[in-house]
Amino acid sequence: MKNVIKSFTLIIAFLLTASVGFAQGDIITAKDFGKAIKDKNTVVVSAQSKKNYGTSHIKGAIFLDHKRLYKDGKPEGLLKSPEDIAKILGETGISNTNNIIVYDGAKDKYAGRVYWILKYVGAKNVQILEKDMKAWRSARVPLTKAPAKPKATTFTATVNSDVIVDLAWMKSHYKDANVAIVDVRPVDEFTGKSTSNPSPGHIAGAINLNWETLINQQGVLKDKATIASLFKSAGITADKTIVFYCATSVRAGLPYFVTKTILAYPNVKVYDGAMNEWETEKSNPIEK
């Protein structure tokens, strides 16, 4: 009987451990990061600003400026073609066959954006390094000022059309009862009252969920239960197709990451054109 009880206890412990890991989605902790970087197929990508990268970054991390992946001109922030993005990634030293770990120094705003772009062009194994500096120090994550010198490689793009929508799709679906359009900007931008980031308002019918409410004061993602509660309060449910956007959809990346990999909602997308594109056509309805 003791052996039976012991075996049962071990099974329960394993299931609890597995469920905790699953709840974290594609997040990698500082502790697990130390093991992951020993794999020669692992590539660490810094999505922090060039200035911050030059000040301090994880040893061996490749610098990737997300702005290089956008088209020139207006509206701002539209992605280049998958082929152009793949070329830049390859030249930077990132392959679609790598295990890719992304981090930044800005509450995962840019890491989330790069994560989503990588998933869009077909990278299979992508994680975001949890930005917990206390844990980084404990795990002795190596930092340096010296820039990495990666070798160019090949990134073969395989477009994942399930994660993105365009202007035509939005015009056809923004009234759909089975679609939740979620504006992730602060409420003053959502209502058009912001003085620092002027905005005409938001896409008609959109729900507001400020992306910054997903992280705590230390810039670390909140736990799954808290995030689930925020989504429930906002009326963002798993039975609908969820579409995130902001002004350029840079801030939409982290909400996508959270919704898809932590909450495990089945249908999650980003409107890449975002508010900057939506407001270019006067016939597109805008509310305040």
Domain spans of the chain, in order of start: 24-144, 161-287
The model's confidence at residue 32, banded by pLDDT at 50, 70 and 90, is very high
Cβ-based neighbours of 89, under 8 Å, separated by 6 or more:
64, 95, 96, 118, 121, 155
Residue recorded with tokens 């990268």 = 53
Helix (H) or strand (E) holding 82: helix 82-92
Residue 263 confidence (pLDDT) above 60: yes
pLDDT at residue 17, rounded to an integer: 35
Identical fold for domains 24-144 and 161-287, yes or no, is yes
pLDDT at residue 11, rounded to an integer: 37
pLDDT at residue 214, rounded to an integer: 97
Please check whether residue 112 is in contact with residue 256, taking contact to mean a CB–CB distance below 8 angstroms: yes
The model's confidence at residue 138, banded by pLDDT at 50, 70 and 90, is confident
Please check whether residue 247 is in contact with residue 199, taking contact to mean a CB–CB distance below 8 angstroms: yes
What pLDDT digit, counting tens, does each position of 69-111 carry?
999 999 999 999 999 999 999 999 999 999 999 999 889 999 9
* Concatenated DSSP letters of 22-66: HHTTTEE-HHHHHHHTTSTTEEEEE-S-HHHHHH-EETTPEE--G
Instruction: Please choose, from the candidates 228, 232, 208, 227, the residue with its C-alpha nearest in 3D space to the C-alpha of residue 216.
Output: 227
Query: What is the Cα–Cα distance from 192 to 252, expressed in whole angstroms?
Result: 18
* Concatenated DSSP letters of 131-190: --HHHHHHHT--EESSPP-PPP--------GGGEE-HHHHHHHTT-TTEEEEE-S-HHHH
Please check whether residue 170 is in contact with residue 271, taking contact to mean a CB–CB distance below 8 angstroms: yes
Residue 24 confidence (pLDDT) above 80: no
Residue 188 confidence (pLDDT) above 90: yes
The model's confidence at residue 131, banded by pLDDT at 50, 70 and 90, is confident
Q: How far does Cα 283 stand from its chain's mean position?
A: 30
Give the CATH architecture of domain 24-144. Answer: 3-Layer(aba) Sandwich (3.40)
Q: Express as a percent the part of the chain with pLDDT over 90.
A: 86
Give first-to-last CA distance, the chain, whole Å: 66
What pLDDT digit, counting tens, does each position of 241-252 carry?
999 999 999 999
What is each CA distance from 286 to 78, 169, 171, 181, 242, in whole angstroms? 20, 16, 12, 13, 19
Supply 65's token pair.
Answer: 């400026």
CATH 3.40.250.10 is held by the domain 161-287:
yes
